[in-house]
């Protein structure tokens, strides 16, 4: 009976996935490829709740209309997607339509996933059906009040704003390396979901660079942390970073210019650190190929005026004194920090724009530099919300925003007070 059971299982999977899988269960290599792609897509970030089981869902996601709870995508037949065929799976990934026929909220970046190739989708399906542990955990009802909870408007939204579900095609003249990077960034990586502005109707203003320079030009805050520009531009973008710098950041969450924080920590830990060096190189090459949207911003140039003043014992302004008392021991009088340990403030991209939210948020909430497989050291900056007043924080943020050649702007106590209302200490 055992050989018969194996044959039947293989045949059932073949029907679900199409004739591609022939008469036997998929090779483990295919499941491994699917796992790699699921990591590249950072599926765990949304579908695994804190301290929850892998891909069992239940993660709360704040949205303008209420709280959305992510779904169970394990192969459990009652609570997950275990009874989904490949066609069911690819329809969700390309069109945002579930097996039950309703359209998912655009919190799932299916407009990006629509770019996946057929072989990659089949590999992911194989992984979720055969490489993931089934979990019998029922999906939680969304916290969205009626009438906003009605699903039929999502069909209209999809009709207007979701693209035609076609796999990625390289742009004319695009080399193989940059094309691979574009495929990963625009598709599985869904980087635009955070780093591209959205309209009032919640659609991204661009889904690729072909749609215009707003693509990856910086997005709205995610859990209170603004998403910076990923374009090759000054004034907060990647113009000052080499491809090596970008690769180092994706692999370790740190480089000589900055360090990851907020939601980007999870992207590095759960996704980017697992990508191959060649894929990381392709992503870096693609990002460096994106021309600037902000053409007026000037390149960063280090200015040692603040450094000389501090080294001579001049901390006469409130901001300078607060910096000496609270920040200089780690970030240095020169603002350059200690590479791989304490991030640089001088030239840091988040300090080159008019938006000081991230700087204020880090001081209020603290920061966490997570360990990765190639940079296992773990560093934490404690929160200062309980020990610094709004005036103290406004003073020190204004100081670092405008010292060492940084192009940011002074901030007010009102800005600090507004962010303090929602700031919560970072998990150590």
Q: What is the pLDDT of residues 224-244, one digit of tens each?
A: 788 999 999 999 999 999 999
Same domain, 309 and 235: no
- pLDDT value for 4: 37
Q: C-alpha angle 49/382/191, rounded to 5°?
A: 45
Task: Give percent of the chain above pLDDT 90.
Answer: 78
Q: Is residue 187 part of a domain?
A: yes
The predicted-structure confidence for 321-356, as pLDDT tens digits, reads as follows 999 999 999 999 999 999 989 999 999 999 999 999
Within a domain: 20:
yes
Looking at the structure, tell me whether residues 12 and 55 fall in a common domain. Answer: yes
Q: Would you say residue 283 lies in a domain?
A: yes
Above pLDDT 70, what percent of the chain?
93
At residue 301, the pLDDT reads 97
Taking only the tens place, the pLDDT of each residue in 60-80 is 988 878 899 999 999 999 999
Angle between helices 413-420 and 357-365 (to 10 degrees): 60
Reported confidence tier of residue 1, pLDDT bands at 50, 70, 90: very low
Residue 132 lies in a domain: yes
- 197 within a domain of the structure (yes/no): yes
Same domain, yes or no: 312 and 415: yes
pLDDT score of 384 more than 60: yes
Residue 296 located in a structural domain: no
**129 and 20 in a common domain:** yes
Whether 139 and 204 map to the same domain: the answer is no
* Segment holding 147, helix H or strand E: none
Q: Are residues 147 and 236 in the same domain?
A: no
- Nearby residues of 334 by Cβ (< 8 Å), 6 or more positions away: 304, 307, 346, 404
pLDDT at residue 6 above 60?
A: no
Q: What is the pLDDT of residue 8?
A: 34
Whether residues 141 and 41 fall in one domain: yes
Q: Is residue 171 one of the residues assigned to a domain?
A: no
Average pLDDT over every residue of 96-102: 93
Tokens of 370: 């997570």
Same domain, 318 and 280: no
Distance of alpha carbon 366 from alpha carbon 362, whole angstroms: 5
93/235 same-domain check: no
**Among 240, 264, 289, which residue terminates a domain?**
289
Report the domain count for the chain. Answer: 3
Q: Is residue 23 part of a domain?
A: yes
pLDDT tier at 25, thresholds 50, 70, 90: low
Q: Take residue 264 and report the two structure tokens written for it.
A: 């980007």
Write out the two tokens for 187: 């598709």
Residue 225 makes CB contacts below 8 A (sequence gap 6+) with 261, 262, 263, 264, 357, 358, 361
Per-residue CA distances from 338 to 88, 104, 330, 343, 381 (Å)? 50, 44, 7, 6, 14
24 pLDDT above the threshold of 70 = no
| The predicted structure's pLDDT at residue 22 | 40
Of the candidates 289, 321, 345, which is a domain's last residue? 289
Residues 281 and 136 in one domain: no
**Quick one: CA torsion of 297, 300, 304, 307, rounded to 10 degrees?**
100
Mark whether 98 and 123 lie in a shared domain.
Answer: yes
More confident residue, 144 or 193: 193
pLDDT, tens only, 119-151: 999 999 999 999 999 999 999 998 888 887 888
- Report pLDDT for 223: 75
Q: What is the pLDDT of residue 21?
A: 43
| Lowest mean per-residue pLDDT among 38-42, 149-153, 199-203, 294-298 | 149-153
Confidence of residue 165 (pLDDT cuts 50, 70, 90): low
Task: Report in angstroms the alpha-carbon separations of 207 from 182, 230, 258, 292.
Answer: 11, 14, 26, 16
| 248 shares its domain with 378 | no
Check which CATH number belongs to the domain holding 254 and give it. Answer: 1.10.760
Q: What average pLDDT does the chain have?
A: 91
Q: Of 236, 264, 289, at which residue does a domain stop?
A: 289
Q: Which of 52-61, 154-163, 390-399 has the lowest mean pLDDT?
A: 154-163
Q: For residue 396, give the nearest of 333, 323, 300 by alpha carbon.
A: 323
d(C-alpha 87, C-alpha 161), whole Å = 22
Domain that holds residue 20: 2-157
pTM: 0.90
Domain at 352, CATH number: 1.10.760.10
């Amino acid at each position: 009976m055992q050989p018969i059971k194996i044959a039947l299982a293989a045949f059932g999977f073949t029907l679900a996935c199409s004739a591609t899988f022939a008469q036997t269960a998929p090779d483990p290599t295919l499941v491994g490829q699917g796992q790699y792609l699921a990591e590249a897509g950072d599926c765990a970030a949304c579908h695994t709740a804190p301290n929850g089981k892998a891909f069992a869902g239940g993660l709360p996601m704040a949205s303008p209309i209420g709280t959305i709870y992510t779904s169970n995508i394990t192969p459990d037949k009652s609570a997950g997607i275990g009874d989904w065929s490949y066609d069911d799976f690819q329809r969700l990934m390309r069109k945002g339509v579930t097996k039950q026929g309703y359209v998912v909220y655009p919190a799932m970046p299916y407009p990006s996933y629509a770019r996946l190739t057929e072989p990659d989708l089949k590999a992911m399906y194989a992984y979720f059906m055969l490489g993931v542990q089934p979990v019998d955990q029922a999906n939680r009802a969304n916290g969205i009040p009626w009438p906003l909870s009605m699903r039929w408007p999502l069909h209209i939204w999809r009709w207007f704003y979701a693209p035609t579900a076609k796999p990625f095609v390289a742009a004319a003249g695009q080399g193989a390396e940059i094309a691979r990077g574009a495929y990963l960034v625009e598709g599985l990586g869904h980087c635009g979901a955070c780093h591209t502005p959205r309209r009032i109707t919640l659609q991204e203003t661009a889904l690729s660079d072909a749609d215009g320079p707003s693509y990856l030009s910086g997005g709205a805050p995610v859990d209170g942390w603004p998403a910076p520009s990923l374009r090759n531009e000054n004034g907060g973008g990647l113009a000052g970073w080499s491809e090596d710098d970008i690769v180092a950041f994706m692999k370790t969450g740190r480089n000589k210019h900055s360090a990851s924080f907020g939601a980007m920590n999870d992207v590095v830990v759960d996704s980017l650190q697992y990508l191959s060096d060649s894929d990381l190189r392709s992503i870096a090459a693609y990002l460096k190929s994106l021309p600037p949207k902000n053409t007026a911003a000037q390149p960063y140039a280090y200015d040692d005026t603040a450094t000389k003043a501090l080294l001579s014992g001049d901390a006469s302004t409130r901001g300078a004194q607060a910096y000496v008392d609270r920040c200089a021991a780690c970030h240095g009088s020169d603002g350059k920090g200690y590479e791989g340990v304490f991030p640089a403030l001088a030239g840091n991209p988040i300090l080159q724009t008019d938006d000081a939210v991230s700087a204020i948020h880090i001081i209020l909430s603290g920061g966490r530099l997570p360990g990765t497989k190639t940079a296992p050291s773990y560093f934490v900056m404690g929160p200062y919300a309980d020990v610094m007043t709004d005036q103290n924080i406004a003073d020190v943020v204004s100081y670092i925003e405008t010292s060492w050649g940084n192009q940011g702007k002074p901030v007010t106590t009102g800005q600090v007070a507004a962010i303090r209302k929602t700031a919560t200490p970072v998990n150590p």
